[in-house]
Amino acid sequence: MTLKPITDDSLSPLRHGFFTRNGGASSGIYAALNCGLGSADQSEIVDINRGRVADHMGVDPDWLVGVYQVHSPDVIAVTGPLPHSPKADAIVTATPGVALFTLTADCQPVLFADHTARVIGAAHAGWKGALTGVLENTLTAMETLGAQRGNITAVIGPSISQAAYEVGPDFMDRFLAEDDVSARFFAQGKGDRLQFDLPGYGLHRLRAAGIGQASWTGHCTYGDPDRFFSYRRSVHANDADYGRLIASIRLD
């Protein structure tokens, strides 16, 4: 089956993609393009899936570079393949031939590019990472490599939408303690439950940080099981585990 990544004109002509679950070698609940070595899927199969993504990105598998994601605000800069995956949640480079990647299953995959300075980035931004500054820290790390914040474009890929993201009042309190403006990203749900707009919040943080352009592809991971893995959907279905989606961008 052919890989079917979602692309965005604002990141072109850089090779990039928010890959769906289509086109991989995994089976069962991981079918088909599960790229998460942290899942209980067979590591050999995950390696095959990552190899297919690397082929699509036009790089050797070693040059498809990511980090060990821990829901942190931490960012690292790379110049090539890594001997191991350091703990962080975003990665940036100004080195041609490197394809950065991030893994998600409801959290925001965010791809960044400064076309003029030729600096790129990729971030995993769940609620915790977004709240503690991983998006702003990615912009800062790109600036260290020569990017200008006003020239940076960011695209948020398939993420859980507000309609599918039910949270409790304690969750909202964490955001209000940071900034009262965050209230606008919560809608009233059933009883004391609330619906949180994760991609809307991500866009707010990026725009408030002075980025040149930011957008969301508009795809909900929870609501489209044929194309996307979803952690929350797997919990509701009582599945034993879930696959991870991959997003990647390459500096030519």
**Residue tagged 């991971």 (tokens):** 221
In a domain? residue 102: yes
Collect all residues with Cβ–Cβ distance below 8 Å to 64 and sequence separation of at least 6.
50, 53, 54, 57, 99, 101, 248
Average pLDDT over residues 129-149: 98
CB atoms within 10 A of CB 171: 15
- Per the structure, how many domains does the chain have? 1
Confidence class for position 1, pLDDT limits 50, 70, 90: low
**What type of residue is 30?**
Y
In a domain, 224, yes or no: yes
In a domain, 140, yes or no: yes
99-112: average pLDDT: 98
Sign of CA dihedral 166, 123, 128, 183: negative
- Whole-number pLDDT of residue 2: 87
* CATH at 26: 3.60.140.10
- Look at residue 168 and tell me if it is in a domain: no
Residue in the block written with tokens 């044929």: 226
Residues 6+ apart with CB under 8 A from 203: 156, 214, 215, 216
Residues 24-43 have pLDDT tens digits of 999 999 999 999 999 999 99
Tell whether the model's pLDDT for residue 177 goes beyond 90.
yes
- Whether the CB-CB separation of 26 and 46 falls below 8 Å is answered with yes
- Could you tell me if residue 187 is inside a domain? no
On whether the pTM is more than 0.75, the answer is yes
Residue 78 has pLDDT above 90, yes or no: yes
Q: Is residue 234 part of a domain?
A: yes
- Please check whether residue 125 lies inside any domain of the structure: yes
Query: What is the domain extent for residue 211?
Result: 9-161+197-250
- Confidence tier at 101 by pLDDT (50, 70, 90): very high
Write the single-letter amino acid at 138: T
**Structural domain includes residue 19:** yes
The token pair at 78 is 């790379």
Mean predicted confidence (pLDDT) in 117-133: 98
Each residue of 194-239: pLDDT tens digit? 999 999 999 999 999 999 999 999 999 999 999 999 999 999 999 9
Q: What's the pLDDT at 231? A: 98
